Amino acid sequence: MPQSTLTHLECSLTGQTYEADQVMNLAPNSQRPLLARYDLAEAAKSLTPENLVRRKPGMWRYREVLPVRSDANVIDLGEGSTPLLKAARLGETIGCQNTYIKDESLNPTGSFKARGLGMAVSRAKELGESVLAIPSAGNAAGAMCAYAAAGGLEAHVYMPRDVPHTFKAECQAYGGSVTLVDGLITDCGTKVAEGVQAHGWFDLSTLKEPYRLEGKKTMGYEIAEQFDWTLPDVIIYPTGGGTGLVGMWKAFAEMEEMGLIGSKRPRMVTVQTTGCAPIVRAYDRGERFADEWENAATIADGLRVPKAVGDFLILDAVRASEGTAITVTDEAIMESVGLMASLTGVFPAPESAACLEAQRVLLSQYMIGRDETVVLFNTGTSLKYTHLFG
């Protein structure tokens, strides 16, 4: 069995290093995200294309570059190895033949949050934590409660009061304790911080512990493997906290260092909505850090994130890749849901429909070429958002 080659944690802003096998949230000095680092030379010995074809599907197939050390701590609900669909009819209609959808809605609990939370809950268990807490727009809470249930950990979730009923029901069914908060996800984060202070809970907020990122980075490994160890020209990503985009960018660097891919990178496109666009605003202003967005409002709940602790990691990746950052309106999102569903058979979450709208705009502005290979992310199932469709 392959083993984790985790060596240490590193502050994403200052580069300061920390011992890996201790419980940590943000880097103590900078209050910025910690990144997991591996012995990639060692990992490369067994993490080869030839070996991978013989491994079973799922995100744990990349075990050498994942943080969980003992099999006994792996909580596996079958996450990962989601389809990369060639959207032929959609591509023809919008004039971009090589359009693909990475369909993350097939993950356990119906969203790609399963990858991050599956990894983070497993690692928290390995490090001896037993009571977890999270602020969430819905999908992260459902995923955390599911993995906590499977692993026998206690789960406390804080969601905005207007969260779709499905999420509340789901979390409670998994045995989670649900608190609805008057406010946004940032206000939920404040409540979680209070619980951490008062009761010693472990905070699984996005990028505030190092391992959700490691789960989400497996999307980058999968895309490379599914494109036969090449990468597409463009990846369009609906950005809230940005964990998936930052994770894929980290995966590409690791893969290049291990000799699995070359130096070519996709242009990374961040999509937000006109009602909450802190990253796009900072991109447009040429800033590395993003100010908090006031009065955030959008139907795409996963994108209603007014402030991201990994802001500079998102912006650095977008700029280094020569990608871009773009906003779309809620109205355009609702139109794009129908367009995508009727031409692909995939009923996308509003966040994912935002990617399609962004692609159409960027095609019309010649920022994406009509013969380029473009990957859109369907980050979650729309079946949890049926209230939006009357």
Ligand X SMILES: *Cc1c(COP(=O)(O)O)cnc(C)c1O
Binding site for ligand X (CB under 6 A): 111, 113, 139, 206, 238-244, 302, 349, 351, 379-380
From the CB of 302, what's the least distance to ligand X, in Å? 3
139 or 327: CB nearest ligand X: 139
CA dihedral over 208, 217, 134, 70, signed as positive or negative: negative
Cα–Cα dist 107/2, whole Å: 24
Contact 346, 378 (CB under 8 A): yes
151 or 215: CB nearest ligand X: 215
As given in the structure block, the two tokens for residue 205 are: 């907020």
64 or 103: CB nearest ligand X: 103
From the CB of 14, what's the least distance to ligand X, in Å? 23
As given in the structure block, the two tokens for residue 128 are: 């001896």
244 or 323: CB nearest ligand X: 244
Contact 266, 235 (CB under 8 A): yes
Dihedral, CA of residue 255, residue 256, residue 261 and residue 262, to nearest 10: 160
From the CB of 189, what's the least distance to ligand X, in Å? 13
From the CB of 22, what's the least distance to ligand X, in Å? 25
80 or 244: CB nearest ligand X: 244
From the CB of 138, what's the least distance to ligand X, in Å? 7
40 or 221: CB nearest ligand X: 221
Query: Residue 165: exposed, middle, or buried by beta-carbon count in 10 A (0-12, 13-18, 19+)?
Result: exposed
> What would the DSSP string read from start to end of 173-213?
HTT-EEEEESS-HHHHHHHHHHHHHHH-PEE--TTTSSSHH
- The DSSP bridge pattern shows strands 154-160 and 131-135 to be parallel
From the CB of 238, what's the least distance to ligand X, in Å? 4
From the CB of 216, what's the least distance to ligand X, in Å? 6
Three-state secondary-structure class, residue 329:
coil
Query: Residue 293: exposed, middle, or buried by beta-carbon count in 10 A (0-12, 13-18, 19+)?
Result: buried
4 or 243: CB nearest ligand X: 243
Contact 99, 91 (CB under 8 A): yes
Beta strands across the sheet bearing 177-181: 177-181, 154-160, 131-135, 202-203
208 or 265: CB nearest ligand X: 208
Cα–Cα dist 166/252, whole Å: 35
From the CB of 384, what's the least distance to ligand X, in Å? 9
- The CB-nearest residue to ligand X is 302
